[in-house]
Amino acid sequence: MYDSLYEKVKPLIYSGESGVLIIHHEYGGKARVVLVEGLVEGVIIGELSGKATVRTCAKWVSISMTFVRGKKGDKKELIAVDTSKFLSIFEKAHKMIQKINTIVPGNNAIFRGDPRQAHKHKRYSSVDSKVMRLLDGKRNISQIVTESGFPELDVLISVFRLGSAGVARLLPTIKFMTDEERVEFLSELTKRLMEFVGPAAEVLISDAFDALGHGPEMLAREEIPEIIESVVNPLDIDEKTTMVRWSMAYSNF
């Protein structure tokens, strides 16, 4: 679950506190919110201050915070920040984070996008398109934020949108197959499938991995039922039953 800066800073403002709220962002950022008798005197990130810094740290979600009461800000002149607008920006982010928490349990969560369901999400932003490509069922949220190049909140909003639309789904704890287990499974799958469809077996298996969005080298145990469901499509009912029963020994070990 994600917390928001709004929940921390609102009580400080409403109680008329003076001091500096120091914010550390998990992805390397650091900001200081300078308060004087409950008013935001400025927000500092590095050498910058002003509206841009407010909007920047409003998009930080994975944060830790420390309030140093009575501490004065830098002696250098700060670019003024309107306190009501400051609260409005962070309240908006707070409400979005509450929605995100209904879909994304945390930074270790792993989602997989399903290209077959892509039509369910009507409007793809540049963030959505990039995040969709990264939702491979292997990368966790933290890795996706880092690799996307977009602000953390924007990425989380995208995951929320894609998840809500049914284009991406949260995976359970992944049990990756060892190299030995994977080679054995794929070899036996090809052999058994060839008994029913001949050389077309390799094409069916390749198509099944295309649908997953990754190659055989990234196969997880939880994905075996999806592989089987895909490859048995051309088979008759008895052949399907035989393949499903055989595969259960692999998906459950």
Buried b (16+ CB within 10 A) or exposed e, 143-157: ebbeebebbbbbbbb
pLDDT value of residue 76:
58
pLDDT band of residue 177 (cuts 50, 70, 90) is: confident
Fold of the 110-170 domain: Arc Repressor Mutant, subunit A (1.10.10)
Range list for CATH 1.10.10 in the chain: 110-170
Residue type, 84: S
Give CA–CA dist 7/131, Å, rounded: 28
Please say if the pLDDT value at position 139 is more than 80. Answer: yes
pLDDT value of residue 73:
54
pLDDT value of residue 221:
84
Please say if the pLDDT value at position 15 is more than 90. Answer: yes
65-99 pLDDT, tens digit per residue, is: 999 998 665 555 678 889 999 999 999 999 999 99
Residues 32 and 50: beta-carbon distance below 8 Å:
no
pLDDT value of residue 74:
55
Please say if the pLDDT value at position 39 is more than 90. Answer: yes
Q: Which two tokens stand for residue 65?
A: 């915070």
Could you give the strand order of the β-sheet that contains 63-69, starting from the edge strand earlier in sequence? 48-49, 39-45, 30-36, 19-25, 63-69
188-231 pLDDT, tens digit per residue, is: 999 999 999 999 999 999 999 888 877 888 788 888 999 999 99
